[in-house]
Structure 1
Amino acid sequence: MSAIRVLVGSTVEPENLAEVIDLYRELVRETRKENGCISYELLRCGDNSGELMLVEEWESQAHLDAHTHTEHFVRLVAALDNLEKAVPAQIYSKVL
């Protein structure tokens, strides 16, 4: 099976940034404990930017699918939906 990489970009207004980062802090911490998670990182463009990028790597699509049904994912993504503008996830599989 080929590893799966996921990129999810979002934009956050300055007044929501601290809360959003706190929510992601929990999401990253809990997701890294999941079976099949190779890496899970939140990146920010610049020091004070509200431009964020979630970068994930999973052992398989099945692991990614299971992740999207976990309690922490469902709860935290619902909270984040009210605080950020996210673009649809881009899902890639390794070629080389």
Structure 2
Amino acid sequence: MRKRMSELILVVSLVAKPETQKEAEEFLIDLLAPTHAEEGCLLYSLHREVEDPTKIWFVERWSSRELLDIHLRSPHIQKALADVGKYFVEGPDIRVCEAIPGGEPAKGSIAGHATGR
């Protein structure tokens, strides 16, 4: 039986309405500062697809499931989830993952426990 790691990686996808692309990005950018200040947040980064800029991704790294759950219940995230339909036609599709490290430690995982960071 393999040991379960406490650190989690999230990949979250959203698809913006083309007519609200700029506002959708601003809406998500506003989540960065309060989330970065939360206990347990190790990475909370926003990305736009090159081929289709309406597709937006968060890549997140949380120190534990408990602190991730607190984040998901936080007022700024609950408000964002209530307002997401104003700017997006799809999402958020939230995928919670754990690292499968391999290869060179610094290149094989973004999870700190796997890379020794």
Query: CA offset at residue 48 of structure 1?
Result: 6.8
Q: 1:90 aligns with which of 70, 86, 95?
A: 95
Paired positions, count? 96
Deviates more, 1:81-90 or 1:5-14: 81-90
Larger Rg: 2
> TM-score, length-normalised on structure 2?
0.74
Q: Secondary structure at the match of 1:80?
A: helix
RMSD: 1.7
Gaps of 5+ in 2: 102-117
Q: Which has the higher contact order (CA 8 A, sep 6+)?
A: 1
1:52 corresponds in structure 2 to 56
Deviates more, 1:63-72 or 1:39-48: 39-48
Gaps of 5+ in 1: none
| Residues 13-72 of structure 1: CA deviation (Å, up to 9, x unaligned) | 221111111111111111010000001011001287101111110001111100011111
Structure 1 runs of 4+ off > 4 angstroms?
Answer: none
> TM-score, length-normalised on structure 1?
0.89
1:37 corresponds in structure 2 to 41
2-structure distance, mates of 1:42, 1:21: 9
2-structure distance, mates of 1:57, 1:71: 20
